[in-house]
Structure 1
């Protein structure tokens, strides 16, 4: 009996939810997967899984066994990868997540430059604005625009950006320019969905951060769409300055409510703190830091 293999199969059943899915992943029959679990349970003398015709669930012993075995498997995999990388080129699949706009505009050129140096690293990037919990193990590196990070996460600052409020000259000519944040309730607002600030816009009032829930007129999870909408006079938007640089240069948007702008937001490359850090992670994060230290955002990409 290969107990280590059986433990790996057990963990994948917990994560994928069915024997069939695991069997397909490791290219064996579902009956063989069942055999692996039976061997593991027999060796331990306890049932790890409750099996019914409709679903699979963990027993109390199964919950404890998964919680303690999963980190051990991860450390073993990382140890194998670290040792195999000694004296060799950095390689592997790196899973990265980034905000939709920053990732699409600025991270792609950085990845292109990184892979020129490390061609044996394959990068899978997911773009989303929602909060990512790295402890779930889905991603290796998460790029975040924030001034705070989760506990247990290593954060390397790679850049920073201002969070400002914008409107088009045409909108201001038609509706007037708000001089105070309380006046925003009388204006058409364009809302960014799924940001760390959720349904609120954030301002600095007398040195303190104030969150304001605006009544939105148009909403999207894509900053380019919101910038275009604002430039067309559809309303006022709040966005990182790096997302609107080209619109500002062309005079299609202007900053408003400057006196209420919060301090600059930091942009971090983050990864989980652990005993063994694969070289694909450390080299990527180090590269990102140097890349953005030398580059001007506006020169990397234009809308």
Structure 2
């Protein structure tokens, strides 16, 4: 076997966090996987993994090697796609990574329309937190704009422009009918994502409001449910609340207020060959005016 094959075995071990599961994926026994890893480390002269009976951890050398092998595997798959003309037809699996609310509340209708146009396309949908994106395991990652992504290995394309606005249940608005100006927000119950890295404030185009009464939530779906049940006000894009706004389980609060413009973006690995299926999906998004040109 070649070093490249050993390297793919190493990647399978890391992806599965288990020699046994990696062996099942590759179709060999665990002993063979262990021997391939040993041969790879001996040929490179470095230790790539720290192994105990309970966990597998990348060494510093292993982290860099894993990222490079992942990119090489992507380019290899892309090259095979091109060489075999995996399309004349657009077909195959597209791996897409995104936060859960973006999948369930925004992307699903788009992906369904794309699959109707290209019925031989299928998806592997990978739910990731924003701090795990862009994912090196995905053909496409979709999330809000990230400032510090690796532009040497990742391509970024703006996907959608949006503003955050304020929403609450009709019951909450009726109970707080005196709420009619921005300064009063600091005395309202505000539903805030529980990532403590962010300050307790909501930023609008002309003013920033410090929040005093907050309910921390670590899930957008829970946050929306809490707002529907009159537990407070949310600060979210209306695009993920279309159903709630249509059935009036949520209504605008101070509708003249909105955040500065934010952008959601598509990220994909920089490679000499971008698979036709990936290009087709990006073109589909542009054609349907879901992406900036």
- TM-superposed CA distance for 1:231, in Å, is 4.4
Partner secondary structure for residue 105 of structure 2? helix
- TM-superposed CA distance for 1:285, in Å, is 1.7
Aligned partner of 2:186 in structure 1 is 185
Q: Which runs of 5+ in 2 are unaligned?
A: none
Cα deviation 1:165-207 (Å, max 9, x = unaligned): 1234432332334344443332222334569x8564532263x
Change over 3 Å in CA distance of 1:271–1:149 after alignment to 2: farther
Normalized against structure 1, the TM-score is what? 0.76
Normalized against structure 2, the TM-score is what? 0.78
How do 1:1-303 residues align onto structure 2 when only pairs under 5 Å count?
1-41=1-41, 43-44=43-44, 65-66=65-66, 68-85=68-85, 87-127=87-127, 130-134=130-134, 136-146=135-145, 150-152=149-151, 153-192=154-193, 198=198, 200-204=200-204, 206=206, 210=208, 212-217=210-215, 219=217, 221-223=219-221, 226-227=223-224, 229-249=226-246, 252-293=249-290
Partner secondary structure for residue 85 of structure 1? coil
Change over 3 Å in CA distance of 1:274–1:38 after alignment to 2: same
Partner secondary structure for residue 131 of structure 2? coil
Q: Is the 8 A contact 1:147 1:266 kept in 2?
A: no
Quick one: distance in 1 between partners of 2:64 and 2:174? Answer: 64
- TM-superposed CA distance for 1:77, in Å, is 2.6
Q: Is the 8 A contact 1:82 1:276 kept in 2?
A: yes
- TM-superposed CA distance for 1:114, in Å, is 1.0
Cα deviation 1:113-165 (Å, max 9, x = unaligned): 1112222221022345533322x422221222448573424333343333111
Aligned partner of 1:297 in structure 2 is none
Quick one: distance in 2 between partners of 1:67 and 1:265? Answer: 29
- TM-superposed CA distance for 1:54, in Å, is 5.8
Quick one: distance in 2 between partners of 1:235 and 1:59? Answer: 45
Partner secondary structure for residue 176 of structure 1? coil
Partner secondary structure for residue 265 of structure 2? strand
Change over 3 Å in CA distance of 1:259–1:272 after alignment to 2: same
Quick one: distance in 1 between partners of 2:65 and 2:148? Answer: 29
- TM-superposed CA distance for 1:286, in Å, is 1.6
Quick one: distance in 2 between partners of 1:49 and 1:190? Answer: 42
Q: Is the 8 A contact 1:177 1:256 kept in 2?
A: no
Q: Which runs of 5+ in 1 are unaligned?
A: 295-303
Quick one: distance in 1 between partners of 2:146 and 2:40? Answer: 45
Following TM superposition, where does structure 1 have runs of at least 4 consecutive aligned residues deviating by more than 6 angstroms?
Answer: none
How many residues end up aligned between the 2 structures?
289
Cα deviation 1:245-271 (Å, max 9, x = unaligned): 444455554433345422333333332
Q: Is the 8 A contact 2:106 2:239 kept in 1?
A: no
Quick one: distance in 2 between partners of 1:236 and 1:267? Answer: 23
Of 261-270 and 41-50, the range deviating more from structure 2: 41-50
CA RMSD of aligned residues (A): 3.6
